[in-house]
Amino acid sequence: MARHNGAVGVDIGSAAIKVVELSGDGRADGGGTVVRAAASAPTPPGAIEEGRIADVAAVGRALRDLVQGAGIKTRRAVAAVNGQVALMREVRMPQVSRDEIRQAARFEVERYLPYPIAEVTFDTVVVGENREGESGKVDVLVVAARTDVLRQHAAALQAAGLEPVVLEVEPLAVVRAVSPRAASEHVTACIHLGSSVTMILVAEGEVPRVIRTVAFGTAQLLEAAASRLGATGEAPEVLQARLAAVSAGDDVPGLREAIDDSLSSLVTEIRRSLEYYGGRYRAAVPDRVVVTGGGAALPGITASLTSALDMPVELGDPFPALGGFPQTGAADAGPAYAVAAGLARRGVDEP
Ligand SMILES: Nc1ncnc2c1ncn2[C@@H]1O[C@H](COP(=O)(O)OP(=O)(O)OP(=O)(O)O)[C@@H](O)[C@H]1O
Ligand SMILES: [Mg+2]
């Protein structure tokens, strides 16, 4: 049973801050959760720069207002940095002690990160024994981020009156949200479409196997749509409303093509990632492909990806597995909360 009354997952995106409050439902096995709240607010303009919090005070204020407005009582918070500012590498190593794993990871970090090891915080996650018959070997995911970037995140939470209990990386949170407690043979691919970056993920059960962060997001997609609609310079909300209206009724010639065109470089990356997964781990296609992130709300996005990838793509809603969407908030907004929901679950599982 959980020894605390839950946790709040805090997703500080470049466009929106999202929070999800979860608590354990008191079940003896600790497996159940109750979603207490899910809410979002726009990120103060300019406060996030390439995954770093440039204005801690502004983010702290916006987060405090959001948490208060949503009636969130829990102080224990879990936040994450995105894949742009983190290094994530899977390394195959002999089954050695934890200390030796850390040492090998340190070597890996030194090899791939362009800054001194002293400025970096890193962690390791054993993602499993490899299946290629090399006995006595394990696959270890090495995760590292600059300490100052992590500190800014912690400072923003503290400024909002929250207590940071864990800081992790967004891709791990999304995997936890979209394939909760899935069996290890169940393969889920997830395309998390954010405003400025997209994560491409493949997981076996809850174990991440492919993690990519691509500098492409809904900002570019909306730009393509805007120029087609003759609406460049419009506020995003105005544009979103027009897009929704367009998809509901009258057709704008060329709009779908403009969006699909803009999506094509991302589609290439997704295909490559799936091919890489198939080649490295299993010659198989994923059992499920889901879209999450704010971009999941783009009208027609699942249809566009379904046809571009030639496999069924559906929306990824983290809430059903967590106990359902809370009373407050738009019921169809689930996919946008994938990061926050995955972080909240980490917080609940954490002692
Ligand atoms: N109904 C909608 N129609 C079109 N686009 C939408 C809609 N709702 C949200 N979006 C897009 O989703 C974006 C927000 O997505 P999300 O919250 O995942 O981004 P973020 O986490 O702030 O960004 P990042 O992770 O890239 O820093 C908005 O900026 C908008 O472009
Ligand atoms: Mg995001």
What's the rounded Cα separation, in Å, for the pair 143 and 278?
23
Cα distances (Å, whole numbers) of residue 277 to 91, 134, 267, 272, 343: 15, 19, 15, 9, 25
Q: How confident is the model at residue 137 (pLDDT cuts 50, 70, 90)?
A: confident
294 lines ligand 1 (CB under 6 A): yes
Superfamily the domain 183-316 falls into = ATPase, nucleotide binding domain (3.30.420.40)
User: pLDDT of 244-303, one tens digit each?
Assistant: 887 766 677 888 888 899 999 999 999 999 999 998 877 678 999 999 999 999 988 999
Torsional sign, CA 202, 203, 207, 209: negative
Of the candidate ranges 60-69, 122-131, 243-252, 336-345, the one whose mean pLDDT is the lowest: 243-252
pLDDT score for 131: 58
How remote is the CA of residue 3 from the centroid of ligand 1, in Å?
Answer: 35
Environment of ion ligand 2 (residues, CB < 5 A):
13, 194
Q: Is the pLDDT of residue 304 over 90?
A: yes
171 lines ligand 1 (CB under 6 A): no
What's the rounded Cα separation, in Å, for the pair 95 and 184?
20
Of the candidate ranges 138-142, 174-178, 306-310, the one whose mean pLDDT is the lowest: 138-142
Residue nearest to atom 7 of ligand 1 (CA): 297
More confident residue, 257 or 20: 20
pLDDT score for 246: 78
DSSP H helical ranges for the chain: 56-69, 98-112, 147-159, 170-178, 218-229, 236-248, 255-280, 301-309, 338-349
User: pLDDT of 180-227, one tens digit each?
Assistant: 778 888 999 999 999 999 999 999 999 999 999 999 999 999 998 888
Top mutation candidate among 49, 247, 298, 317 for ligand 1, by most atoms within 8 Å of CB: 298
Average pLDDT of every residue of the chain = 90
How remote is the CA of residue 330 from the centroid of ligand 1, in Å?
Answer: 15
194 lines ligand 1 (CB under 6 A): yes
pTM of the model: 0.94
Q: Is the pLDDT of residue 308 over 70?
A: yes
Q: Is the pLDDT of residue 231 over 60?
A: yes
State which amino acid sits at residue 61: R
Task: Note the ligand closest to the C-alpha atom of 45.
Answer: 1
18-38 in b/e burial notation, b at 16+ Cβ within 10 A?
bbbbbbbeeeeeeeebbbbbb
